[in-house]
Amino acid sequence: MLGFGLDYIPVSERTDMTLIDNGKDILMPMVTLSIPIFNNKYKSQTKQNQLKQQEITSQKEERLNALQTMLSKAIYDRNSARISYDTQSKNLKQAEDAEEILIKNYETGTIDFNDVLDIQELQLKFQINQIESIKMYYIQSTIINYLTN
């Protein structure tokens, strides 16, 4: 830092002594030069700025990791929903085959009608599970589309 200044001192005349330039006012020009030898303030600010940059970088990485995790989970859940739908379809087909057999047995009088109702209830559960699988598949597809676009 560089500074310029001017100092003015009024001097009154002394009567007890005789001096050269007795009573003349003093005018002093001044120049100051400041060299920062101990730069700790700036070093600490630089270190703080570096730490803030590292913090921001870490936050970005954390957000990216969270989004990648969400995407992976959505893909996994969508695949699980598809597999669940296929499984429910196979179970439903087997239940329909069993229903046909039970209806034939009911017509011959060898089983009770409650057994036919039980298999129809089971078919209904399989259909409900199929609908849930479809719903889950589309929800996860929506999440995947949101995260990738």
CA–CA distance from 112 to each of 6, 95, 105, 125, 136 (Å)? 118, 17, 9, 21, 37
Instruction: Assign 19 a pLDDT band (cuts: 50, 70, 90).
Output: confident
Q: Render 79-125 in DSSP notation, one character per residue.
A: HHHHHHHHHHHHHHHHHHHHHHHHHHHHHHTSS-HHHHHHHHHHHHH
CA distance 9 to 12: 10
> In the prediction, which pLDDT does 39 show?
67
Tell me the per-residue pLDDT of 96-112, one tens digit each, with 9 for 90 and over.
999 999 999 998 888 88
Domains of the chain, by residue range, sit at 2-40+61-148
**pLDDT tens for residues 27-86?**
889 998 887 676 667 778 889 999 999 999 999 999 999 999 999 999 999 999 999 999
Closest CA to 53 of 64, 45, 65, 43: 45
